[in-house]
Structures are given as C-alpha cells and as structure tokens.
A and B are shown apart, each in its own frame.
Chain A
C-alpha cells in the first residue's frame, strides 16, 4: 500500500509528538517532522512529502513564508494551522499557496479526516475559518472598488491623499511636496469633491480601504 507522506512542521516538539502518535496508528500515513524552516527544507530535500502541515509561527520567518519556500521546492498540498487564526493570516496563507487552514485545536479524528480529504482533492478549512475567508474576499472586492474610484485622482492628488491618510496637516503636506499650503488646500478640496467624501477623516478611511490599513493609520489630530 502506498502511504501518504505527511510533513509536520511545528516548533513545538510536544505537539509534533501528538500528531506523530496519532498518524502512526493509521496505516496509510507516514510522518516526517521539522521544527524550523531549515529543518523543513532539509526534510524535503531528495523526497517531497505529499502533504505539509505548517505551523503559522514556524521559526524563523513564519508559516506563510515557509509555505512559499516549500512551494518553490515541491509540488504538494500544504495546510497551515495555528491556535488563533485571523482573517488576514488565513488569506495570507492561502495567497502564499496553502491549500487549507486548520485550527490546532482540531480533534484527532478531524485531523485524520482532513488529511484523507486532501488526498481526495478537498480543501481543509474549518467552518469558522471559511467565514473568515469569505470576509477577507469581500474585503478584497471592496479594495478593488475603492482603487477603481481612486483612478479619477491625478498623481499629485494621490500623493496628497496618502499624506492626509497619514494624518499630516496642510502645512506638513506642503513642506513634504514642496508646494504652497494654498495649493494643498485646493488639492484636498478636489479630492473630496471627486471622491464624494465629506471630510479629511473620510478621505483617510477611503485610502485605508483602497490601499491597506497599515498605510493609513488614523490620527487624532485629523481635522475636517
């Protein structure tokens, strides 16, 4: 009988031991372990596994980047798992190439079912993580729509919008772009009018939706 080769990449030895003990009872699985990215790449050198279970916190670069590196070396199914997945991490893992995402609190029976499902071509995703994934995809749609709206702005107006989103006042924007404060005010008015927005705060929110929250932290000093 051909056994499915499972790579368990997790920094916690005790956790790997649990997975190994579980899968050792199943005649159709064989297990290879790794505690870090380096160990993982060494483990796949020469013989790729069929499935990789990769911890989101795999040292030293994290599970998402590990998934990408693994995909460069092997053609396999990759499942990322963690104790506290979020919408962003689930989406990041899937975009990096993961075929599924599981909670580490999964039952032993659930894990075996998920792995056998992968062999049959299913994508393992816990129900609540499926909801997170859908939310994340909705977010992507919103982002795409916001970026489409932003196309009406000129290049200079987009620069001003980015600085507004960073909480900069008109004087600071003028200095940054080497233009007059009067010109900045005019650009801000044009931005608000073109995008149909009521205030600078709304403009900052729009920028975050279009280009990412990490690029546009709201400042308490924002003024309308």
Chain B
C-alpha cells in the first residue's frame, strides 16, 4: 500500500475503496466506475476502520454483513458514501443519512445501478476533495 500521506493529497478523481470477500467484485466496481480511482482490499481482516481512516476515500463498497457493519460504524456522522453489495442475493443497499440501510436494488444488482448510485453520492457531495 502506498504511504497514507501520498494518498491524502488533493485528488483529481474520487477515491472508492472496495473491501470484499469476492475479489471479482472489485473488478466489477472498477469496470463500473471509470470516473473514479478504485482500490480493492480483501475483507475479513478486521481492519476496515484503519483502512478507511488512512485512505480517506470518498466512498466504500463492501459485499458482506460484517464489513458493512464496520464501514457503517466508521461512516457515522461523516459524508462517506457506503454501499453494501450483497452479492449472494444480488441486492444493493446504501447507507443513508440516519445510519440505516436503504435498499437500492432488491435483486440482480447491475453495474449501471452501482455506477449511478455512486456517481450520485460522490458528485452530490462535491466529488473529489
């Protein structure tokens, strides 16, 4: 991983961190977000808060319940966009402003929906910082 200081400089593109148990989803997110820099990490290491603190991303995408809980806890009170792609069921959920999960797509989550939701979240908040 690059030193945190090098990543915390002003970015031209939004940074999206992907923490997933299904690595191929990282590929899917990268394919969907040509406008963002995507960094993928393996889930299940219990270091989500540390990753997010040091990487300071604009959005995070996860694919399992424990990681979603960790990301939601970290995101509380911040503008960090959190998406939970429950890949086994094909559902896409978004962490809303109250800290609850909003169902975006009930089944068959598509790259287009992922792209639209993230683009909306990122650019509604002002995009890259």
Residues of A within 8 A of B (CB): 11-15, 17-22, 83, 104-108, 111
Contacts and interface: CB of A to CB of B under 8 A. Distances in A.
30 contacts: A12-B109, A13-B109, A13-B110, A14-B90, A14-B109, A14-B114, A15-B22, A15-B87, A17-B27, A17-B32, A17-B111, A18-B24, A18-B25, A18-B26, A18-B27, A18-B29, A19-B27, A20-B31, A21-B28, A22-B24, A83-B22, A83-B88, A104-B22, A105-B21, A106-B24, A107-B23, A108-B23, A108-B24, A108-B26, A111-B24
Interface of B: 21-32, 85, 87-88, 90, 108-111, 114
B90 A11 contact: yes
A112 to B, nearest CB: 11
Residue of B24, B26, B30, B88 contacting most chain A CB atoms (<10 Å)? B24
Contacts of A11: 90, 108
Contact of A14 (B21, B23, B110): B110
B27 A22 contact: yes
A14 B27 contact: no
A104 B20 CA distance: 12
Nearest to A12: B90
Residue of A12, A18, A19, A107 contacting most chain B CB atoms (<10 Å)? A18
A14 B87 CA distance: 8
A12 B28 CA distance: 11
A129 to B, nearest CB: 17
Contacts of A107: 23
Contacts of A15: 22, 24-25, 28, 87
A126 B19 CA distance: 23
B27 A21 contact: yes
B39 to A, nearest CB: 14
A104 B21 CA distance: 10
A18 B22 CA distance: 10
A83 B23 CA distance: 12
A76 B28 CA distance: 26
Given A11-B90, A12-B87, A18 B21 contact: no
Residue of B21, B22, B109 contacting most chain A CB atoms (<10 Å)? B22
A18 B31 contact: yes
A107 B42 CA distance: 10
A18 B88 contact: no
